[in-house]
Amino acid sequence: MDREAGPDGSWKPQLQMVFGVLKRGKYFLALMAIFSFSAALVSLVLAEKRYTATATVLPSASSGAPELAFTSRNLSDIGLMLSLQDSGNLLPLYPDILRSRLVARDILRKNFTFHENGNDVTRTLKDHFGMENEDAALIALSKAVSFRVDTESKTLVLQATMNNAELSARVINAYISRLERFNRMERRSCAKEVYDFIEGKLADCRLEMREAEESLMAFREKNRNYDSSTEPDLQKDHRRLIRRVELEKALCLELGKQLKQAVVDVERDTPILNVLDYAGVPERPSWPKPALFLSSITTAGLLLGLIYLGAVESFGMWRAGNDRETVDKLLSELKKDIRAVPFIGERVGSG
């Protein structure tokens, strides 16, 4: 008795019930599988195809830039040196740049020419999405594209999924062109502004240095005996003018160095985009995938069939139990009624 009540014996009734349900419902399950597979085929034909285009970019800084040296006299060059060294480290920022509203709006408003239904059409993505609200179209675009950094290969991966294969490739290539324009224009303009600022300061410094030199020359011409004079005020004014000239010369020299560094900064401020793979027109749709689509829907149909058979079996067992209780109750009441009849009750009692 103990062995029959063990774990092996406890699963026997359940397994027998499951096999019994499968045996009784095998034709039903076969019909469910055929129906599910047919529905999957119809859905596969009618489902809107999605095509994913992919491009890979390897950003890098301009090559051949000189190393920057600095000494204790030129500590202000450290900031420029750090900014130049960081010019090639923009890879983590590129996905955020591409997702920005500025870039997305330009892509959304750009006209794309592609092949659709046997004809060449030209329209913006806003018109292609069929949305008049630009904010809604921007949300739809953000769902259709993705940008990520591959940490292993240190590359930028761009993907676009559209209902038109040619359009998906053109959208990704447009993003690459927009990123290149960002490097040439937006980032370069910052370095150019720094260059213009330093150049203006250098021009002002040279003007002040010239004025300081002219003041010193005028002082010496007016006071030709300044070298041998013993007047304290005269010597004090002469030393002040000399210090001013030396200070302006040192400042002009430092600004000249900074201007040279700014020229290098302008040249290096535009990272090169090495496009490893431009987006090509995908030949096969990325969604729906036939194997996954058919297998998942067919499996779902079979699971629904099994759940239905299990529910029917459980309901039948529950109903059979309730019916048996009802029959026993009716028989018990019938016996009581029969005993209540005098003649029959005596015979039933004696029997």
pLDDT tens readout for residues 271-303: 678 888 899 999 888 878 888 878 888 899 888
Residue 229 dihedral angles phi and psi, to the nearest 5°: -75, 150
CA distance linking residue 161 with residue 169, whole number of Å: 9
Least confident residue range of 20-24, 108-112, 150-154, 276-280: 20-24
**pLDDT above 90 coverage of the chain, percent:** 36
Domain ranges of the chain: 51-200+270-277
Stretch 337-349: mean pLDDT: 55
CA distance linking residue 276 with residue 145, whole number of Å: 19
> Which pLDDT does position 80 carry in this prediction?
36
Least confident residue range of 118-132, 206-220, 336-350: 336-350
> Do 194 and 185 touch, CB atoms closer than 8 A?
no
> Which pLDDT does position 342 carry in this prediction?
59
Q: HSE of 347 in the Cβ direction (CA atoms, 13 Å)?
A: 4
Specify the pTM.
0.58
Helix axes 232-268, 77-85, angle to 10 degrees: 0
> Which pLDDT does position 160 carry in this prediction?
97
**Does the pLDDT value for residue 62 go beyond 60?**
no
303 vs 321, which has greater pLDDT?
303
Instruction: Give the pLDDT band (50/70/90) at residue 239.
Output: confident
Q: Indicate the residue type of 109.
A: R
Task: CATH number for 51-200+270-277: choose from 1.10.3470, 3.30.1890, 1.25.40, 2.30.30.
Answer: 3.30.1890
Q: What is the pLDDT of residues 194-203, one digit of tens each?
A: 888 899 999 9
Q: Which of 32-46, 259-273, 323-337 has the highest mean pLDDT?
A: 32-46
Give the three-class secondary structure for 58. strand
Stretch 52-77: mean pLDDT: 56
Q: What is the pLDDT of residues 113-142, one digit of tens each?
A: 999 988 999 999 999 999 989 999 999 999
The candidate with the shortest Cα–Cα distance to 345, out of 331, 330, 328, 336, is 336
> Do 138 and 125 touch, CB atoms closer than 8 A?
no
Residue that is written with structure tokens 């920057």 in the block? 68
> Do 266 and 191 touch, CB atoms closer than 8 A?
yes
Q: What is the pLDDT of residues 140-165, one digit of tens each?
A: 999 999 999 998 888 999 999 999 99
Instruction: Give the pLDDT band (50/70/90) at residue 315.
Output: confident
Helix axes 26-46, 290-340, angle to 10 degrees: 140
51-60 and 272-277 strand pairing: antiparallel
> Which pLDDT does position 66 carry in this prediction?
37
Stretch 314-334: mean pLDDT: 66
**Does the pLDDT value for residue 234 go beyond 90?**
no
**Does the pLDDT value for residue 335 go beyond 50?**
yes
